[in-house]
Amino acid sequence: MKKSLVVPLFALGIIMASLSSMYASPSTQVWNPSTDIQAKGSFHLNYDNYVNDRVNLAYYGIEYGAIKNLEVGFDININQISNSPAANAYPLYGNVKYGLPEGKLMPAIAGGVMSVGTKMTENDAAGIQVNGTDLNIFYALVAKTFDRVGRFSAGGYSGNDKLLIDETGAKANSGAIVSWDKALTDKIWASVDYSSGSSSYGFLAVGASYAFAANTSVICGYLVPNNYKVNTSGNQFTTQLDINF
């Protein structure tokens, strides 16, 4: 399934309210990157919403297939509220992903970087850390499709250890990514994906999409954080409109 996150004409990003960071992603499942690559010369637009009884967040985004097997994206946070001053003042994020498609015997392979922010995390004159938006999450994935069962993906990620931390402030900037997805019919797709770790990036996500047209679909999903002490906004419902052209 092709999809990205956040911006009206150059996008990529996610804010989970109560988190101190915004996430900007390439083609994904519901939450994590996938091995899918936007086709050369094509665009992907999306509108994503995350909501529960405490938050109601909306984002716009775009991805572009720059050359064969390479996609690039930029995201911006539009009219959102975050507890991170940097996320509000520096809303632009970027991502890049390169991948090779699955073959008869060989799995699909992809790697890239996402949530590349425009504000660096640094210390002020008093030596106190001032958080930026430079999550800079590098990842690598492999995926293989099995008839009637679906596609299984596995890999890992590593990001900025100053921002991806647990509730004690300890580094929690790396972990595993695993997912399953399958086209159940020519219009219905389903996915379960998970990122390990106790930082704000660690989530379990489940969802399904319905294709209204060959290039237009809507995902409905549910996200559960690994660490409620960091992700204090809690579980969230998501709806994601995706359009390719």
Which of these, 36, 38, 116, lies nearest to 76 by C-alpha position? 116
Number of Cβ within 10 Å of residue 208's Cβ equals: 16
Taking alpha carbons only, the member of 68, 78, 56 closest to residue 12 is 78
Q: What is the pLDDT of residues 176-205, one digit of tens each?
A: 999 999 999 999 999 999 999 999 999 999
Instruction: Say if 9 falls within a structural domain.
Output: no
Q: Using CA atoms, how far apart are residues 113 and 65, in angstroms rounded to an integer?
A: 15
The domain tally of the chain equals 1
CATH of the domain at 74: 2.40.160.40
3-state secondary structure of 33: strand
Q: Among positive and negative, which fits the CA dihedral 136, 177, 151, 213?
A: negative
Residue with tokens 């709806």: 239
pLDDT surpasses 50 at 108: yes
Per-residue confidence (pLDDT) for residue 171, from 0 to 100: 97
The pLDDT value recorded for residue 80 is 54
Write the single-letter amino acid at 178: V
The domain of 163 spans: 14-244
